[in-house]
Amino acid sequence: MRIISGRWRGRRIDAPEGEAVRPTGDRVRESWMSIVHQILPEARVLDLCAGSGALGLEALSRGAASCDFVEQSPKVLAVIRGNLEKLGGHPDAHLHREEAVHFVARLSAGAYDIAFADPPYSAETVQRLVDCWMAVPFANVFGIEHSSSVVLPALGETRRYGSTSLTFFRAPS
């Protein structure tokens, strides 16, 4: 897996081993970044269910000011830490070992500019994260990757890429 654009363009990053983590493909990741590219410079970014950290690392590479990576598995967090070290680090990259729903439940509205979530494709986890954002919009823009078979509230804008969909929610101005 490679960083697609920005200061780390073309640099390789590792993905965690096993089937528990499903890294976001390059095409979907590029689509994700093209949707948020105008607000990415100097943004405060949250990468939920971070896996390899590819989304947050891509955001940092493209000029985000900071990124909080949230992942509950210590082994997966070690991969993110290794990827950050391989890229030379970033002073405002922070790792949090916690379940994503519990993490966002404590956040206030607008805590982040952009939040990415790539949870396991269980409809329950996807819906719980969306419900948290609907109750308290913890990011101005919240994007979540999910199975195309999962239908989310019409307030979001959904883009479909085969069996994968991205749905974006925007906080009211």
State how far the Cα of 155 lies from the Cα of 168, in Å rounded to an integer: 9
Short-list 36, 27, 35, 19, CA closest to 2:
27
Short-list 159, 160, 150, CA closest to 130:
150
State how far the Cα of 86 lies from the Cα of 40, in Å rounded to an integer: 22
Q: What is the pLDDT of residue 60?
A: 97
State how far the Cα of 66 lies from the Cα of 41, in Å rounded to an integer: 10
Residues 6+ apart with CB under 8 A from 24: 32, 51, 54, 55, 118, 145
Structural domains of the chain ordered from first start: 26-170 (3.40.50.150)
Q: What is the pLDDT of residue 173?
A: 75
Short-list 172, 119, 115, 166, CA closest to 141:
115
Q: What is the pLDDT of residue 16?
A: 86
Residues of the chain predicted below pLDDT 70:
18-26, 121
pLDDT digits (tens, 9 = 90+) for 32-58: 898 999 999 999 999 999 999 999 999
**What is the distance, to the nearest Å, from the Cα of residue 30 to the centroid of all Cα atoms in its chain?**
13
State how far the Cα of 12 lies from the Cα of 67, in Å rounded to an integer: 19
Stated pTM of the model: 0.93
Q: What is the pLDDT of residue 164?
A: 87
State how far the Cα of 143 lies from the Cα of 132, in Å rounded to an integer: 13
